[in-house]
Structure 1
Amino acid sequence: MLFLFLKYLQPTHYFQLYRKDGTSIFPIIENLPNEIVEQLVPEAKFKSEKARKYDLSWQAVNKGYIGNTEVYTSFEKLPVIDEYRFLRKYFHSIWVFYVLMLRLLSFKNPFREFSAWKKSRDTVRSNYLNKPIKHPDCNKQQSSLVEDKPLVSVVIPTLNRYKYLKDVLADFEKQTYKNFEILIIDQSQPFQKVFCKDFNLKIHHIQQNEPALWLARNTAIEKSEGSIIALSEDDVRIGPDWIENHLRCLDFFKADISAGVFYPEGSSIPKERSFFCVASQFATGNAMLYKDVFKKIGLFDRQFEKQRMGDGEFGLRAYLNGLKSISNPYASCIDVKAGTGGLRQMGSWDAFRPKKLFAPRPIPSVLYLYRKYYGRKRSLLAILKTVPQSIIPYRYKKNKKMMVLGLFISLFLFPFVVLQVVISWRLATKKLREGAMIKRL
């Protein structure tokens, strides 16, 4: 990563890793078009010129630059004060102090660390998300892909959610794009064979006896007839142009993947997801991709069965293999968050909050993902950052005061939390020894 201290706050971010061809995601600033550079804000207080350039490169990616400019393949070490200044510019001061404590506890020079932390306090916090990089409106551009009308195969796994499934199927009946099929892999008990008969849609309603989410998605992809796969869920609501907006994104940006945006019912699209950018995450509840992607990198890893982050692993695999994934705010959907059925019923819906005292924390698939791709040290940093916060219930996870409270509570529960992490670590080790369960298409 271009700024070393990001490893403490984003230890398992996609962009922390170089791709398989040795490249990063970050563009060399001198090679960016002038119209892009003009939308970036230089930081005059950096001590080194290299830090100023790295900062602009980071801005470009996070403000939505999408292009083919030459990227960095390595990064030089920066002055410690520039590392702290960068963190202060983009992260809350609590997290900057957190990094200082980690540095001191890892026996870094305390005088140098404290001095750099203190001298960087005059840094002004950036509001870069208020001015993302502007792209032409792809919805107003002619799309040859939409005009060619390729068959789109929509994949929807479901488990005991007929009440919610009927709503999303009603949304699909209203789509402006008509050439699509829907493959429903139904794991419900009891199975309602005639459930789909009243919908004016081309539906393949397939019963699956084993409740297994990733098996369901893999099965649907294998049985699909389309050259393009759309991934949806049984508890979302979509607009009438959902399919068309995904297609337009694939076409306009010449992308392999269009990664749609979720937002909770009654809320709105998060600011950081409100503009087109290179996707730093992937969710199987709202995405579209060419079927050839699965031929290149394989289907979903069944080591995540009944657990979390299987879609995150797939997105990371796509990134590492150099596939182009674009975060698409136009293809948004409302996350209804059904209280029953689905992953809530078959396994762990929350990756970091076990229901039982001696259950693993986080669930083993999380550490399987972290350790497989980021290694032991980054995994430990991720545990240190996420586990204390997970003491607080999910509904308070965006409440900063409650997060701080969670940190203090975790100190009292320290022996139990350590035991939960050890259990998870051992189960993840078993998964790593077994290896990936990725089937090729």
Structure 2
Amino acid sequence: MIFNFLKYLKPIWYFNLRPSTDFCYFPTETQLKEAGIGVLKDERYLSDDAKVRDLGWTAFQRGFISKTNEKGLDVWQNIKVPIYDEYVFLRKNFHWAWVTYVLFLRIIMLHNPFVDIKSFLKTRSVKRVDFSKDVIISNDYENFHSQLINSKPFVSVVIPTLNRYQYLKDVLRDLENQTYKNFEVIVVDQTDDFREDFYKGWNLDLKYWFQEEKALWRARNEAIQSAKGDYILLYDDDSLIESNWIVEHLKTIDFFDADLSSGVSISTVGADVPKHYSYFRWSDQLDTGNVLLKKEIFKNIGLFDRQFEKQRMGDGEFGLRAYLHGYKNISNPKAKRIHLKVGEGGLRQMGSWDGWRPKKLFGPRPVPSVLYLSRKYFGNKFSIFYIFSAILPSLIPYKFKGNKFLKGLSFLLIPFLLPLVIYQVGKSWNFSTKKIIEGEKIESYI
């Protein structure tokens, strides 16, 4: 882990775990200079180790993507830096409220309060950094002529759908308008009132079938098994895209010699891409509503884990698995979609769409699959840190999650809601234990 205190705020971040292949994720000072990137160590850190690690972290956040096969800084080697340095790192990267949360957490965990409070106070002048204001631009991308696109690889677009014909119509229309034409569309329809006539008349290489079981990951797995393409493009049934969507995914794969291109999602028509997704960078997530990947990945690491059926984070688990097996995943701002997040159909109907907000008062919080993932890969200790960091925001309804007043109110309500929350978390923990004992349900690609 690049800084030890990161475990309190990003305990299940992909890059906390050592991958089988390091593509210079966190470059050294020498590697940055060789790439022509200006470097300046932060002299506010006390230790040289912290200065070097902060340099690698900063390059990662600014969008440094090495095109060599050199290993970068070994941030997975456990080292200790002064507590003061840990607080400098937190203040540079997180809101002051989260830094205060870490201080409080460490005090109740019986760490030396004098050292922590002193370091917390002495670092008050350190300001949070906005990395999006100083990104490393991939200047050659716009003029890059992709040999991959010229070779016209066959792409399979996979779309599971449930009770969303109204929106699926726009999805298929956008696919008809793609400038790249060498692709097929596979729709796995789980709609209650299945309409075969809906699929007639489209100017697409369109395959579809009805799946009686309401099962998202089964639908995606079976579609991938039947896909003819060398590339799989996973998509949702309530999204809108521009005509160059497939082109931008393929171009990114080629330009960065990557294995996955993770497109960005916007929830409002006309909205800007969020700042931290507005430039190319290593991706630390996988969204099955907008990602292109080589089919060989499924052949090598298996399909989606059906332990996540009707629950959350099945795509996150697959992305983590791909990262650990040494596959390159690029966050791609050029391949964007508008995700309408409609209120009916889809996972909202068949299961738990929100991972941390239970549908029922006494339902598990979070949904058990969330803890199944975190405990399986990161262990119980980091999963507890994950629960601590996510519980408070989860008390706010999803549509109001950015409301500062409600955030403050949720903090005040904690003493009254604590017995209920403990019950909900305990229930989720027990269910996730059963999943862990039962084991993964990852089918092999045949």
Q: For the superposition of Structure 1 and Structure 2, which TM-score range results when normalised by the shorter chain?
A: over 0.9
**Deviating more after overlay: 13-22 vs 262-271:** 13-22
Equivalent pair of 1:239/1:333 in contact (CA under 8 Å):
yes
* Alpha-carbon distance between aligned partners in 1 of 2:33 and 2:24, rounded to the nearest angstrom: 19
RMSD between aligned residues: 1.4
Matches within 5 A, 1:255-266: 255-266=258-269
Out of 116, 120, 123, the position equivalent to 1:117 is 120
Per mean C-alpha deviation after superposition, the further-off stretch among 118-127 and 232-241 is 118-127
Correspondence for 1:202: 205
Structure 1 residues not aligned, in runs of 5+: none
1:94 aligns with: 97
Q: Does 1:376 align with 2:385?
A: no
- Residue in 2 that maps onto 1:29: 29
Q: Which SS does the other structure have where 2:198 is aligned?
A: coil
Code of the aligned partner of 1:93 = W
Q: CA deviation at 1:2?
A: 1.3
Q: TM-score, normalised by structure 2?
A: 0.96
Q: Give the Cα–Cα distance (whole angstroms) in 1 for the partners of residues 142 and 286 of structure 2.
A: 22
Change (3 A) 1:137 1:329: farther
Asked if 1 retains the 8 angstrom alpha-carbon contact of 2:281 and 2:331, the reply is: yes
Contact 1:28–1:57 (Cα < 8 Å) also in 2: yes
Match of 1:251 in 2: 254
Match of 2:139 among 136, 139, 146: 136
1:265 aligned partner, one-letter code = T
Which residue number corresponds to residue 184 of structure 1?
187
Match of 2:313 among 309, 312, 319: 309
The corresponding residue for 1:411 is: 415
- 2:153 aligns to what SS in structure 1? coil
Q: Residue deviations 1:321-365, cap 9 Å, x none?
A: 110000000000001111100001100011111121110000000
- What TM-score do the two structures reach when normalised by structure 1? 0.97
Q: Which residue of 1 aligns with 2:178?
A: 175
Cα distance per residue 1:225-279 (max 9 Å; x no partner): 1111101110000100000100000111010000010010233211000000110
CA distance in 2, matches of 1:240, 1:138: 18
> CA offset at residue 137 of structure 1?
4.3
Superposed counterparts of 1:30-179, under 5 Å: 30-38=30-38, 40-67=39-66, 68=68, 69-73=70-74, 74-179=77-182
SS in 2 for 1:413: helix
Map Cα deviations across residues 119-170 of structure 1 (whole Å, 9 max, x no partner).
1112132122211111124242110110001110000000000000000100
Tell me how far 1:404 sits from its aligned partner: 2.8
Preserved contact between residue 155 and residue 184 of structure 2 (Cα < 8 Å):
yes
Please tell me whether the aligned partners of residues 167 and 238 of structure 2 are also in contact (alpha carbons under 8 angstroms). yes
Which runs of structure 1 show a deviation greater than 3 angstroms over 4 or more consecutive aligned residues? 20-25, 33-37
- Deviation at residue 36 of structure 1 after TM alignment: 5.0
Q: Which amino acid aligns with 1:72?
A: L
1:229, 1:289 within 8 Å by CA — same for their partners in 2?
yes
For the 8 Å contact 1:36–1:133, the answer to whether it is kept is: no
Q: Which residue type is aligned with residue 354 of structure 2?
A: D
SS of 1:37 mapped into structure 2: coil
Counterpart-to-counterpart distance in 2, 1:342 and 1:296: 29
Kindly state the Cα deviation for residue 305 of structure 1 after the two structures are TM-superposed: 0.3
8 Å Cα contact 2:56/2:73 also seen in 1? no
Residue 313 of structure 1: CA displacement? Answer: 0.3
How far is 1:8 from its partner? 0.5
Give the whole-Å Cα distance in 2 for the aligned partners of 1:216 and 1:72. Answer: 40
Segment of structure 1 superposing worse, 304-313 or 86-95? 86-95
Distance in 2 between the 1:345 and 1:388 partners? 25
- With over 3 angstroms needed to count, the CA separation of the structure-2 counterparts of 1:400 and 1:5, relative to structure 1, is farther
The offset of 1:398, in angstroms, is 2.1
Q: Distance in 1 between matches of 2:142 and 2:174?
A: 20
Instruction: After TM superposition, give the deviation of residue 400 of structure 1 in Å.
Output: 3.4
Q: Does 1:435 align with 2:436?
A: no
- Partner of residue 240, structure 2: 237
With over 3 angstroms needed to count, the CA separation of the structure-2 counterparts of 1:21 and 1:279, relative to structure 1, is closer
Contact 1:15 1:24 in 2 (8 A): no
Q: In the comparison of the two structures, how many residue pairs are matched?
A: 440
Of 221-230 and 393-402, deviating more is 393-402
Task: Indicate if the aligned counterparts of 2:24 and 2:71 stay in contact, CA closer than 8 A.
Answer: no
Displacement, 1:24?
8.3
Give 1:199 deviation, angstroms.
Answer: 1.2
Aligned to 1:17: 17
Residues of 1 paired with 2:162 and 2:276: CA distance? 31
8 Å contact kept, 2:263–2:290: yes
